[in-house]
């Protein structure tokens, strides 16, 4: 058991590649490339990035849905890979996941009650007698009436379905929940309800979140630490306040500048960055260099390592120091 200030989850140099076939040419794309993150108990680590950045793959690696090619995942002080079968099942109690698509992530032919009861059954956390009661309690804690237990997913609204997903995820009293774009597919007027629910649960159950999102405003609101990924690498990692006050990586700046700010008096004058995300097309040096407004010749030759540049602030850029303030 770890101490209160020790990380709950740590990854060390995680790597996962896929083979991509594009018209006869097979390339190996590093979806996750040397990723080391840590989540402390009770905190929210936000992962931010666009398509191809590897955030979804990282989520699958952490929840053990896929094995990494190399690197280590350490949970609660113990490396995950070396665990026995029984320990690995216990691991599944401690780390859960909420998916983006509120409909697709619920088995369509299961009733809500069955869905929420399933983790209890698998991990034998309730007897036949107490199951119903426990399910009702869990549904209540996510703001759903007990009658919902007899409905099917397709009978529910998007917000309700996501609540069911959350209910299922908290059933085993996990320590960490990976949230993969949990509100992106919901209607705008419902998003804040679910965000509030996640905040409440974090407080009441002492949860940590690995929160994946492309919505920077949301991430600013609920994130404690921000981690920006680009083409499989972490390019910047910092506490939320420091990140938004003074981002140090050109890509982070571009992301913040590109986010459509809901105030017409503050209009972006020009797009912050040009070009497309070049999945698998950049070799050697910094992967962002072709789109970077600050690129130097050095950037094509040497891949900038993730450096400690200020308190808890890490940046992977040769010119990070120049961007203070």
Partner 1 sequence: MLTVGLLMLTLLILATVLIPLFVQIDAFSISAATKLQPPSWSHPLGTDELGRDQMSRLVVGANISLRIAFAATALTAIFGISLGMVSGQYPIADIIISQISDSLLIFPGVVLAIMILAALGPSEVNVVIAVFVLYVPRVIRTVRAAVIEYRGADFVMAARSLGASDLRVLALHIFPRAIGPIMVQLSLGFSSAILVEAGLSFLGLGAPPPAPTWGGMISGAREFIRTAPWMMIAPGAIITYAVVSLNFIGDGLRDMLDPRSHSVGR
Partner 2 sequence: MMQDISSTNTVGSVLDVRGLTIGFRRRAGHVRVIRNVDLTVNQSEIVGLVGESGSGKSIFARAVLGTLPTQAEVLEGQIAFDGHDLLHMPRQQLQRLRGDRIALVPQEPMTSLNPSLRIGRQLTEVLEVHRPEMQSMARVERAIEMLDLVGMKFPRERLAQYPHQLSGGLRQRVAIAMALICGRVELLIADEPTTALDVTIQAQILDLFVRLQSVQKMSVLLITHDLGVIAQTVQRVGVMYAGEIVEMAGVEDLFAAPLHPYTRGLLDSLPRPDDAAHKSHLPSIAGAIPSPTATHHGCTFADRCSFRVELCQRLAPELEPAGKGRFVRCFRWKELAERFVRVDVAS
64 binds partner 1 (CB under 8 A): yes
151 binds partner 1 (CB under 8 A): no
Candidate segments 84-92, 105-113, 117-125, 211-219, binder of partner 2 by CB under 8 A: 211-219
Site string for partner 1, 159-198 (x = CB under 8 A): ------x--x---x--------------------------
d(CA 240, CA 246): 10
107 binds partner 1 (CB under 8 A): yes
The stretches of 152-294 forming alpha helices (DSSP H) are: 158-170, 188-205, 216-222, 240-245, 250-258
251 binds partner 1 (CB under 8 A): no
Following CA atoms 212, 218, 220, 221 in sequence, which dihedral angle do they give, to the nearest 10 degrees? -120
Q: What are the CA-CA distances from residue 184 to residues 62, 163, 187 (Å)?
A: 21, 14, 8
Candidate segments 35-43, 69-77, 94-102, 227-235, binder of partner 1 by CB under 8 A: 94-102
Cβ contacts of residue 35 below 8 Å, gap of 6+?
11, 13, 14, 15, 54, 58, 71, 229, 232, 233, 234
d(CA 231, CA 197): 32
157 binds partner 1 (CB under 8 A): no
104 binds partner 1 (CB under 8 A): yes
Q: From the list 266, 283, 311, 325, which residue makes contact with partner 2 (rule: CB under 8 A)?
A: 266
57 binds partner 1 (CB under 8 A): no
Q: Copy the structure tokens of residue 313.
A: 């602030």
Task: Answer with the entry of partner 1, partner 2, none that 165 interacts with (C-beta below 5 to 8 A by kind).
Answer: partner 1
d(CA 236, CA 233): 9
| Burial class of residue 270 in the structure, from the number of CB atoms within 10 Å of its CB (0-12 exposed, 13-18 middle, 19+ buried) | exposed
Shortest approach of partner 1 to residue 114 CB, angstroms?
A: 9
Task: Answer with the entry of partner 2, partner 1, none that 123 interacts with (C-beta below 5 to 8 A by kind).
Answer: partner 1
Question: In the complex, which residues of this chain contact partner 1 (CB under 8 A)?
Answer: 60, 63-65, 89, 92-93, 95-97, 99, 101, 104-109, 118-119, 122-123, 165, 168, 172
């Amino acid at each position: 058991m770890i101490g209160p200030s020790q990380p709950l989850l740590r990854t060390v140099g995680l790597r996962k590649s896929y083979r991509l076939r594009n018209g006869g040419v097979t390339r190996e794309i590093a979806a996750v490339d040397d990723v080391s993150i840590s989540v402390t108990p009770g905190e929210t680590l936000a992962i931010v990035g666009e398509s191809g950045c590897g955030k979804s793959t990282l989520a699958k690696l952490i929840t053990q849905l896929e094995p990494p090619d190399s690197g280590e995942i350490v949970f609660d002080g113990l490396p995950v890979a070396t665990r026995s079968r029984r320990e690995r099942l216990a691991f599944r109690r401690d780390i859960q996941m909420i998916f983006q698509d509120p409909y697709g992530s619920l088995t369509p032919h299961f009733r809500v009650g069955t869905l929420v009861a399933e983790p209890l059954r698998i991990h034998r956390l309730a007897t036949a007698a107490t199951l119903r009661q426990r399910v009702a309690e869990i549904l209540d804690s996510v703001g759903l009436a007990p009658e919902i237990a007899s409905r099917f997913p397709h009978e529910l609204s998007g917000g309700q379905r996501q609540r069911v997903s959350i209910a299922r995820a908290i059933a085993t009293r996990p320590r960490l929940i990976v949230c993969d774009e949990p509100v992106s597919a919901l209607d705008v007027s419902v998003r804040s309800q679910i965000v509030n629910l996640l905040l409440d649960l974090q407080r009441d159950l002492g949860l940590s979140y690995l929160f994946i999102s492309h919505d920077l405003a949301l991430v600013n609101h609920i994130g404690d630490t921000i981690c920006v990924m680009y083409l499989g690498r972490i390019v910047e990692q910092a506490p939320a306040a420091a990140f938004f006050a003074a981002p140090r990586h050109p890509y982070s700046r571009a992301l913040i500048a590109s986010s459509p700010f809901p105030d017409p008096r503050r209009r972006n004058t020009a797009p912050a960055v040009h070009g497309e995300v070049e999945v698998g097309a950049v070799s050697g040096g910094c992967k962002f260099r072709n789109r970077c407004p600050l690129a130097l010749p050095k950037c094509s030759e040497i891949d900038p390592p993730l450096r400690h540049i200020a308190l808890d602030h890490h940046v992977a850029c040769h010119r990070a120091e120049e961007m203070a303030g």
